[in-house]
Every structure is written in structure tokens, then in C-alpha cells.
Structure 1
Amino acid sequence: MNALDYFNTRLEATISPMDYLRCAEANPEEYFLMDVRNGPEHVRSVTIKDAAVIPQQELQERLHEIPKDKEIIVYCWDVWCNTAAKAAAFLLERGYKVKELTGGISAWKEMNFPVSDFSAKIHPSDRCGC
């Protein structure tokens, strides 16, 4: 694969936070944003605003919640996390149209884009106390 093929393939499989925000504002009915991060709820309490929360480890059981007629945008923690890539591959194998949000929630928060914080809704006994 030459450099041009690599970059074209990368652009085909990913979307930047800025591009996603612009596209979703223009055509919200075309996209389904999905937080696929695994881990305890208290560490996942901040999500991208209006994202569906379906952890990667629950995808098999929750496929019925994911629309086939929209482009699915998956995200995880950051550029170092491969959970979104695993989720994207799983969904692509099942016929979904999928892109990964580059940089995950870290890049989204760094750009001060809208988030939802559910930490107040988590019961104190659910916290690990770390």
C-alpha cells in the first residue's frame, strides 16, 4: 500500500470531532453516535452529548439498539485506545456503515465540544473509592 492509499483508507474509516460536529448539525438524522468504552460506570460518567452508551463488550446483546439505516460513529477514550476500532470491525462485519471518531472523548473534550456528565446520577455505593 502506498502513502496515498493509506491516507485515503484512513479518511474513509475515521471522522474528526470537528467534521462529525459539522455533519451531525447539518444532518442529524444520518448519524448515530455511540460511546463504546468499557469499564466501570463511574469512569465513563462523562460522554459526548447525545451519544448512545453501548460498551463494546455488550455489542452482541444490544445490536437491536443500533440502527442499520444510519452511519454509526464509534468512540472510546483517546488515540491510544483500540476499543472503538474493535467495535467498528464487529459492526462492519454485520453490515453496518461505521466510522471511528478520531481521538475519542479526550479529543472531543479538549476542543470543548458539548458533553453530558452523569456523575451526579451514580449512586455513591457504586464508586470504587479509589
Structure 2
Amino acid sequence: MIITPQDAARHFAAKLQFETDPSDVKAAMDARVPFVLVDTRGAAAWIGGRVEGAIHLPTAQIAERAQQLIPAGSSVVVYCWGPGCNGSTRAALQFSLLGYSVKEMIGGYEYWAREGLPIVDDDGRIERATDELTAPVGAVELDCAC
């Protein structure tokens, strides 16, 4: 099968409609773009640390509780553990079935934390060094956008 440049363009454009990454989420937060960031992991994971500003709604509870917690018409960004977990994909599917505009934050909590972005627990901010394999140490931007 031959994949044409047009096929590739359609594929990658579609991915960008439905996926975002930690640095883009942080930039949107800083720019005060309206969206609800949802941590879809379980209670123990939430207690251990989470993205600052996220709300907690485990994937198994989305169908039952989303409409009570998140106003209709809201844009939603979901995350779970990391690239080895498809919990955020399942969560994004649940939100889309409920009528929400939703994106999945690829890399999840793992890459948010590894990039040195703000994480918190019930006691406040957690300081974590930036992993130089995921983000340039001390950089203001990741320079991933063209």
C-alpha cells in the first residue's frame, strides 16, 4: 500500500485535532484559554500528585458524574498516567459520547511531571527536577512547534 502525502497530511491534521501535549496545555493555561483539565486516574494516583489546576474524575465515573462537574459546552482535556496507559483515550471517548469537545494530553501525568511543569498534592506544590530527556533544562519553551 502506498501512502500519499495527502493521506499523511489528513492523518496528522486529524491527530492534532484530538491530541495535545503537556507544553501546549501549560501554554493554554498561561494564556487563560478556557478548558477543563481532567485527571482520569484513580484516587491513589490523584492523592500522590496531579497537574496543578486539574479536576479529578476517574474514567469509570465520567458517564455518571461529568455533567454534574463540567458545564455543557466546555472544552475538556484529559490525561492519565503516561504513554503506556490508554486510560485517557478511554476517558476522551466517554467525554465525546457525552457531547464534549475533548482532547487527549499525550504523555499524560508522567510527561507533565518529567517536563518540570507544576504538580501538586494535598499538601501543596511538589518540586521535581526537569528530565533533560524530555525537555531542555532551564528552557522557557520546548521549541516543538514550527
What TM-score results when the alignment is normalised by the length of structure 2? Answer: 0.74
User: For residue 61 of structure 1, what is the aligned residue in structure 2?
Assistant: 64
Distance 1:24 1:42 in 2: 25
Number of aligned positions between the proteins = 117
Residues 49-90 of structure 1, C-alpha deviations (whole Å, 9 max, x = no match): 010000001112212112223210000000121111111111
- Equivalent position SS for 1:116: strand
Higher RCO, 1 vs 2 (CA within 8 Å, ≥6 residues apart):
1
Q: Percent identical across equivalent pairs?
A: 28
Counterpart of 1:91 (choices 86, 95, 115) is 95
Distance 2:77 2:13 in 1: 18
Structure 2: gaps of 5 or more residues? 125-146
Structure (1/2) with the larger helix percentage: 1
CA positional deviation for 1:19 = 0.9
Q: Is the 8 A contact 1:32 1:67 kept in 2?
A: no
User: For residue 9 of structure 1, what is the aligned residue in structure 2?
Assistant: 14
Distance 1:34 1:48 in 2: 9
- Equivalent position SS for 1:81: coil
The amino acid across from 1:55 in the alignment is P
Larger radius of gyration: 2
Structure 1: gaps of 5 or more residues? 121-130
Residues 76-106 of structure 1, C-alpha deviations (whole Å, 9 max, x = no match): 0001211111111111112100000110000
User: For residue 127 of structure 1, what is the aligned residue in structure 2?
Assistant: none
Counterpart of 1:42 (choices 33, 41, 44) is 44
Distance 1:26 1:71 in 2: 15
